Amino acid sequence: MTWEAKLIKHNSENRIAVYFEKSQDLIVRIKQIEGARWSQQKTVWHIPDTIENRERFKIEPLANSLPSAEGIVQIEKFKQWLRSKRYSESTISTYSEALKSFLIFYREKPVVEINNEDVIIYNNEYILKNNLSASYQNQTVNAIKLYFMTVRETKIEVDKIHRPKRAKLLPNVLSKEEIKLILNAHSNIKHKMMLSLIYSCGLRCGELLALQPVHIDSQRNIVLLKNAKGQKDRIVPLSPKILEMLREYYKVFKPTTYLFEGQIKGKPYDDRSLQQVLKQALQKSGITKPVTLHWLRHSYATHLLESGTDLRYIQELLGHNSSKTTEIYTHVSTKSIQQIKSPFDDL
């Protein structure tokens, strides 16, 4: 079993992030560790920071897990630059942690002396040697490139740093029957409403939790998504059936600041609790696939495509910058594929 484990702060709590190549077997094993949780925000599994877990994942003593004094200063400057450019806190955390890992590797070398060859060595001797994923490598390269673009005195030639080739993974899609089972699994109207809104509007988890009552325009039958991924606003159509459900939900819960609030009024519903809502729906519906909230968004896009919606509209609805991102759904749509007759039938 190959992974990389490192200390992180998550929701002001000390945690151990565990990075590994996506594998159902590894996911099952990580889930067996008490307190293991998946962070949709950081896209990583994380576990409690305990002595037992540090030993289990062979985490280096804290003193050896730090960059040089110069490196620490540079990471702080990088964070300040990212904040000044209005990057999200989750991106700031991801990029600064990736840069920290790189500067720990070169803790004995002055930052000004680091060159392109060092990036290649880091990729080979640390990322590839530890079998870390291509997405982790990509994240690190993005952080390194962005950091060195902000530092003037350096031997790095930013344009010559190349990202790894991306794996061409297809999005996970559920059938309409499976979606119906999941959405009808809960009798709790709030739980049912949250899952239904994610699927019916193709929302990301964070987009759902950031919704406020004022973002629901019942006159125009639209939902306004403010400051979605990439600091972009967008609108998505609101199903009349969903609007009816929302009216029933509103009567019962009377949300104030956020459309979906947790136990404390005025505070958004917790993303971990939302993942538990999905987990319970899967158990109740008897679906054993490792479904995540993002599968509902993938399914929304694929079902739109299969019903004849133009790809350009789907791109707008999902908030994709590039049509290339949206085109991946053409590979999982079964509408045309099911019409192809196998030559085996003619034998």
Residue 167: pLDDT band by 50, 70, 90 thresholds?
low
Q: Please state, in angstroms and rounded to a whole number, the distance separating the CA atoms of residues 88 and 82.
A: 8
Residue 294 annotated among the catalytic residues of the structure? yes
The pLDDT of residue 1 is 47
**Residue 120: how many other CB atoms lie within 10 Å:** 12
The pLDDT of residue 62 is 46
**SS3 state at 190:** helix
**Residue 336: how many other CB atoms lie within 10 Å:** 9
The pLDDT of residue 63 is 45
Report the percentage of the chain scoring pLDDT > 70.
89
In this predicted structure, the answer to whether residue 296 has a pLDDT above a threshold of 80 is: yes
Q: Which of 56, 190, 215, 320 is catalytic?
A: 320
Residue 331 annotated among the catalytic residues of the structure? no
**SS3 state at 330:** helix
Q: Residue 260 phi/psi, 5° resolution?
A: -120, 110
**Domains of the chain and CATH, by start:** 4-160 (1.10.150.130), 176-331 (1.10.443.10)
Q: Which of 6, 297, 298, 303 is catalytic?
A: 297
Query: Do 295 and 284 contact (CB within 8 A), yes or no?
Result: no
Q: Which of 229, 234, 250, 284 is catalytic?
A: 229
pTM of the model: 0.62
Per the structure block, which two tokens stand in for 9? 């702060």
Residue-wise pLDDT for 115-145, tens only, equals 889 989 998 888 887 777 777 888 888 898 8
Q: Closest by alpha carbon to 229, among 209, 212, 204?
A: 204
Residue 227: pLDDT band by 50, 70, 90 thresholds?
low
Considering only 162-171, 242-251, 303-312, which range has the smallest mean pLDDT? 162-171
Residue 79: pLDDT band by 50, 70, 90 thresholds?
very high
Residue 229 annotated among the catalytic residues of the structure? yes
Residue 329 annotated among the catalytic residues of the structure? yes
Query: b/e for 156-190, b at 16 or more Cβ within 10 A?
Result: beeeebeebeeeeeeeebbeeebbebbbebbeeeb
Residue 169: pLDDT band by 50, 70, 90 thresholds?
low
Per the structure block, which two tokens stand in for 226? 């403010």
Residue 182: pLDDT band by 50, 70, 90 thresholds?
very high
Q: Which of 6, 191, 192, 204 is catalytic?
A: 204
